[in-house]
């Protein structure tokens, strides 16, 4: 997912046994999840066997002048977050309760995630649900999005048109 301040790369899998997100920041052995796929990828020159990929990512981010180091998170899914150069808080709640760029951020999330619901939007933007609901109401009034499904059973939002 691409946000104004970061790129998040999600993988539904998990790290191999014995490998932690902390170990990804140091030299570590390569533990391919599927050796049958890893071998031809290695022979074709697309990957190496040393477990240096995450180190290369960190180094390249530093060389690019990124102020924040990449993050590696193992939650329900494995996630890598690459931060942009200017990472001021674009989602900070304003004095009037609005979100700086909030309506655009909500629209981008709905556009890039067909079938997203309010709780997903809330967790991705990390802003209060009431703020999200105000943005959604504004987008509905402008006929930019619509709600599909039944609210009680888990409906979702989609772009109109």
- Give the orientation angle of helix 102-112 with respect to helix 118-125, to 10 degrees: 120
Q: What is the pLDDT of residues 109-144, one digit of tens each?
A: 888 777 787 777 777 777 777 888 888 888 889 998
- pTM, two decimals, is 0.51
Nearest partner of 155 among 94, 107, 114, 100, judged by Cα? 114
pLDDT at residue 153 tops 80: no
Residue 24 has phi, psi (to 5 degrees) of -65, -20
Q: pLDDT tier at 72 (50, 70, 90 boundaries)?
A: very high
Distance, CA of 49 to CA of 53 (rounded, Å): 9
């Amino acid at each position: 997912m691409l946000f104004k301040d970061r790129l998040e790369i999600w993988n539904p899998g998990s790290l191999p046994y014995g490998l932690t997100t902390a170990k990804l920041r140091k030299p570590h052995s390569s533990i391919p999840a599927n050796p049958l796929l890893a071998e031809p990828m290695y022979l074709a020159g697309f990957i190496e066997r040393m477990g240096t990929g995450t180190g290369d990512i960190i180094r390249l981010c530093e060389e690019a002048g990124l102020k924040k180091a990449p993050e590696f998170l193992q939650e329900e899914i494995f996630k890598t977050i690459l931060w942009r150069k200017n990472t001021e808080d674009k989602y900070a709640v304003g004095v009037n309760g609005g979100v700086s760029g909030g309506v655009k951020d909500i629209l981008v999330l709905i556009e890039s995630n067909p079938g997203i619901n309010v709780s997903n939007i809330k967790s991705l933007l990390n802003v209060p649900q009431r703020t999200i609901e105000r943005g959604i109401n504004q987008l509905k009034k402008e006929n930019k999005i619509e709600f599909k499904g039944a609210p009680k059973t888990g409906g979702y939002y989609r772009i109109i048109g």
